[in-house]
Structure 1
């Protein structure tokens, strides 16, 4: 006789279903990649702007031009910091998303292993606990 009940879900199937329940955004979405590229471009442009403003301020004797170059240099430094923050945020997002999924899977495997061990362990025995 064959049974009509479906086979039990494997751990991988449960893992995929739990990830779908968490509603984690798809890492292949283009918006995160756009922000990552924008952060890298902002870092590069800000750094070039700050370095060029430094040379402009040191190659002139006019204090008005020097002050303009200093303001431009500070704007370049601010753009570099904002670009670095964007780049770090969106580059670490992919890694941390993978890490969280891996941690969830490892905890599920550990829970399964511990529940199987508890089922086979006789609590009334007087044997020493295995080490």
Structure 2
């Protein structure tokens, strides 16, 4: 039976022993980041209404501190979301680069092209 290119790639990927992203906690951190991005503006809007519905300066300052906490939650959530959403893409990209470089090395060794004479050096 002839093996397809996709089958060879999957076998080579398994040989590289790259950890399965589903087995890790990446999806948990991704969901947490998305939740924080949603909860942060919600906390900020809630604190806006808390600050404007009172004339007590102490309560207004507490609401402002809560609003800053909401903004910080949004920033942290966005950072977590971007980091863990790019992890899968970059993991696949690195595995693909490794596979392509291995294929290039095999083709060069099979054709026995001398690397020193391939490109003349300009002086």
TM-score when normalising by structure 2: 0.74
Q: Distance in 2 between matches of 1:98 and 1:46?
A: 31
| 1:58 Cα deviation after fit | 3.2
Q: Distance in 2 between matches of 1:33 and 1:11?
A: 29
Matched, 1:33 2:33: no
Matched, 1:72 2:66: yes
Matched, 1:97 2:91: yes
Distance change in 2, residues 1:25/1:84 (3 Å) = same
Distance change in 2, residues 1:116/1:30 (3 Å) = closer
Q: Which of the pair has more CA radius of gyration?
A: 1
| 1:66 Cα deviation after fit | 1.0
Report the count of equivalent residues. Answer: 114
CA RMSD of the aligned region, Å? 2.9
Contact 2:12 2:99 in 1 (8 A): no
Matched, 1:106 2:106: no
Structure 2 match to 1:116: 110
| 1:83 Cα deviation after fit | 1.2
Q: Distance in 1 between matches of 2:16 and 2:110?
A: 26
Task: Single out whichever of 94-103 and 56-65 deviates more from structure 2.
Answer: 56-65
Gaps of 5+ in 2: 115-119
Q: Distance in 1 between matches of 2:91 and 2:52?
A: 46
